[in-house]
Amino acid sequence: MNNKLNIGLIGLGTVGQGVVKVLSSYDDIEIVSCAVKDLNKKRDVEVKNLTTDVYSIVNNPEIDVIVEVAGGVWVLEPLLTAIKNKKHIVTANKELLARHGAQLFDCARENNAAILFEASVAGGIPIIQAIKTSLKANNFDCVAGILNGTTNYILTKMEEDNLSYDDCLKNAQKLGYAETDPTNDVEGYDAMYKIALLANIVFNKRIDASKIYCEGITKISPLDIKSADELGYKIKLIAQAKKVENSTDLDIRVHPMLVWKSQAISEIKNATNAVLLKGFPVDKLMFVGPGAGEFPTTSSVVGDILQIKSEITNSDAILPMQTCHHHDYANQISVDETVNSYYLRIEAQNKLGIIGQIGLACQSFGVNLSSILQKGINDNGSATIIVVSEDCREKDINSMIETLEKTGDIKVVNKIRVM
């Protein structure tokens, strides 16, 4: 084999074009062919041998590494074919790995191929490499973070500009931070795929993404942002995976959370991402950086390519520390069994005894309140009441809410967990 690494590229969107631009400065790496959906689409780069036939790339014996930046689960079969043809894989595809990673990694192990996916979790933040190498001595209790730039941008602008969710989403779309269909981001699915991959690496267990509780930011209002601020919090979409106390079970979920202003992660703004780790002996760490975009993501993709290039001629089994060695699935608890503190925004009839009803319902289900904030009388005559509970089980707070709403005088408009 000569010293040149031959690449087959799948996808030539924003990240794919970034990869082409960066690799153009490497004389010993060549993009042999690239698969795209539309040959005539206008692009900022020129690539030879464009094709719509992805199998012509994964079956090409001249290609050493497949770089997949197209996204979507449709690439599963082409990548399995590439692996069976003894090709290494570099991908940024978090959905594919979260949903079908077990199949891909098993196939890679059987065929002595490497799958590197640094770009799939936090864009330009080198979190996977850090966990698998420099932090390998640690036993982690928790990994959490802000893993989606679109939602963090929206929440930041809601806070700073006092705008509605809908207005901030429109601005994000105009600036290119949000897709025309933003569902994957704003409903939390993007962050869900990423925390599944991080939990897999941190806890050495396979994760069933379908069992991860996922809730987006669409119900967050400017009133929630303002009330949280008065109570000393900011609201962030947090993806977290942590060990259940005195158990080997894992609590993995994605949802908005109130974060104390004193916590460093509360200051992560706009499209920036952050990953928190807590373990022994390192204690607490936070990684911060750009979580998406052409060149931050390209940085991670090309970094993976260069890792493969540095070892591909030196060993039959390259990058053993980057290989998935575990087979067992984690036992993931239901969100009903999780323990949290809660923020509740309540709309109630403006009449005597409402606070008493709230107190009695809390007492019935063992829910202690740490703060109550009444926001005055609304134009329709109702009263807005903000309460924050102490730690309690999710199913108990839900039962308490159900009991309150049966009175007909009280409606819990929003429930947000506290970090």
* Separation between Cα atoms, residue 236 and residue 178, nearest integer Å: 17
What is the per-residue pLDDT for 322? 66
Q: What is the pLDDT along the chain (419 residues), one digit of tens a residue?
A: 468 999 999 999 999 999 999 999 999 999 999 999 999 999 999 998 999 999 999 999 999 999 999 999 999 999 999 999 999 999 999 999 999 999 999 999 999 999 999 999 999 999 999 999 999 999 999 999 999 999 999 999 999 999 999 999 999 999 888 899 999 999 999 999 999 999 999 999 999 999 999 999 999 999 999 999 999 999 999 999 999 998 999 999 999 999 999 999 999 999 999 999 999 999 999 999 998 889 999 999 999 999 999 888 776 667 766 677 778 999 999 999 999 999 999 999 888 889 999 999 999 999 999 999 887 788 788 899 999 999 999 999 999 999 999 988 999 999 999 99
Active-site residue, 243 included: no
Yes or no: say if 373 and 323 are a contact pair by the CB < 8 Å rule: no
Q: Is the pTM of this model over 0.85?
A: yes
Asked whether the beta carbons of 153 and 296 are under 8 A apart, the reply is no
Which of 194, 205, 234, 309 is an active site residue? 194
Decide: 207 and 121 in contact? Cβ < 8 Å: no
Query: On the CB side of 61, how many CA atoms lie within 13 Å of its CA?
Result: 1
Please provide residue 125's backbone torsions phi and psi, each rounded to the nearest 5 degrees. -80, 125
Best CA proximity match to 269, nearest among 417, 125, 151, 137:
151
> Residue 315's pLDDT is what?
65
Task: Supply 297's token pair.
Answer: 């993501």
As a whole number of Å, the CA-based R_g of the chain is 24
At 95 the pLDDT is: 97
The domains located in the chain, with CATH, are 5-123+294-322 (3.40.50.720), 127-290 (3.30.360.10), 339-418 (3.30.70.260)
Distance CA 258, CA 261 (A): 9
* C-alpha span between 46 and 308 (Å, rounded): 25
Backbone region of residue 241 per phi and psi (left: phi > 0; alpha: psi in -120 to 50; beta: other values): beta
Contact indicator for 209, 196 with CB cutoff of 8 Å: yes
